[in-house]
Amino acid sequence: MLRVGVNGYGTIGKRVADAIRAQPDMEVCGVAKVSPDYVAVGAAEAGYPVYAVDADRADEFRSIGIDLAGTVDELVAASDVVVDATPSGVGADNRPLYERHDTPALFQGGEDATVAEVSFNARANFDEATDADYVRVVSCNTTGLSRFVAPLEENYGIEKVRATLVRRGGDPNQTGRGPINDALPDPVSIPSHHGPDVQTVYPELDIDTIGLKVPTTMMHVHAVNVTLDDVPDDVSDVRDRLRAEDRLLLIPDYAGIDGAGTLKDLALDAGRPRGDVWENCIWEESITLEGRDLYCMQAIHQESDVVPENVDALRAISGHLTGPESRTLTNETLGIGL
Ligand code: NAD
């Protein structure tokens, strides 16, 4: 049983903790929190041992009835692996803590790629992370693009990817983010940093990306154009190959799903935790071939698509299952693709 500590219990950390708890071969040995807030109360109520990041705030935790299990240093010492889900840049600052305890760690996509030996996507490069000590699970957008690219690269070869990323302004709990009434080129410079981030997973891929930010908290939407090397006789071949992927969900026209709002509604109706949508959601009708150019549109749930990838990265680090075995187990336990 792999004992996993979660350092940074926010949007990603709490989801990853719950996903780990659903696995038969790993357990959460504790979560580290900075603030004694409603999220900390939720962690304690969920039965996770809570560790304080700042020992000086221990009394504040106690005053709201949270019985601390110790400090973050003790959590790292008690863990076989740590999932660091702290805000961008904090993970890199934490790396010496993990090194001091000789504890392997996963970092998240907000960190520079240099924080780890490998930038990871379970579908694209699971084996590269086998037995690594430090692995970065790439961002929500990079995860979404890597999953989409994988079957196209393998079946047809890719000359070039061009993607426009219409990004959510913030997560639902990020009350200060925006814009609230605009569509912002973000970044204004082209190509955006997302393409190079995909190249941390696919170093040979020719990819340019453009980013915008819009007033929604629900999901990102990508408009993707891929110039293929070998073109199938019919676009149905592409659709079938995409449909066969476990973390790509093809949305049929009949479903009446016209955007992220209806997708989230579907996820909530299906009883998914927090209304999470772990898969890339591709509008089937948008999958179109014009000569060698493939087009499509996909929605990416930023809060949750990296969650199964973290679970798989833990198995890559510990080396006890292959990529396909790990993905299947993760999918079954979380209910992905059902
Ligand atoms: P978040 O702000 O929701 O959660 C981060 C948590 O870490 C907070 O609870 C914060 O209090 C805590 N924290 C701050 N400093 C800490 C420290 N020194 N030690 C321990 N905990 C500390 O952030 P998030 O959205 O969960 O993002 C975490 C990482 O995941 C970032 O790298 C981010 O880029 C990446 N990511 C975020 C999303 C997303 O859409 N939210 C998607 C994919 C990847």
Kindly state if the Cβ of 276 falls inside 6 Å of ligand 1. Answer: no
Q: Which atom from ligand 1 is nearest to the alpha carbon of 86?
A: 7
Helix 11-21 with 38-45: angle, nearest 10 deg: 0
Kindly state if the Cβ of 49 falls inside 6 Å of ligand 1. Answer: no
Which residues of the chain register pLDDT less than 70? 338
pLDDT value at residue 131: 82
Q: Which residue lies with its CA nearest to atom 20 of ligand 1?
A: 8
Same fold, 2-138+306-334 and 140-300: no
pLDDT value at residue 18: 98
pLDDT value at residue 23: 98
pLDDT value at residue 338: 64
pLDDT value at residue 337: 86
Q: Does domain 140-300 have CATH number 3.30.70.100?
A: no
Query: Domain 2-138+306-334 belongs to what topology?
Result: Rossmann fold (3.40.50)
pLDDT value at residue 271: 96
Q: Which amino acid is at 308?
A: P
| The 3-state secondary structure of 158-177, one letter per residue | EEEEEEEEEEECCCCCCCCC
Q: Where are the domains of the chain?
A: 2-138+306-334, 140-300
- Asked if the interface predicted TM-score (ipTM) of this complex is over 0.90, the answer is yes
pLDDT value at residue 206: 98
CB contact at 8 A, 90 and 97: no
Residue-wise pLDDT for 202-238, tens only, equals 999 999 999 999 999 999 999 999 999 999 999 999 9
Positive or negative torsion for Cα 38, 41, 45, 48? positive
Q: Which residues are catalytic?
A: 140
Q: Which residue lies with its CA nearest to atom 34 of ligand 1?
A: 110
Q: Which residue lies with its CA nearest to atom 16 of ligand 1?
A: 86
89: left (phi over 0), alpha (psi -120 to 50) or beta: left
CA–CA separation, 64 and 335 (whole Å): 35
Calculate how far, in angstroms, residue 291's C-alpha sits from the geometric centre of ligand 1: 42
Kindly state if the Cβ of 86 falls inside 6 Å of ligand 1. Answer: yes
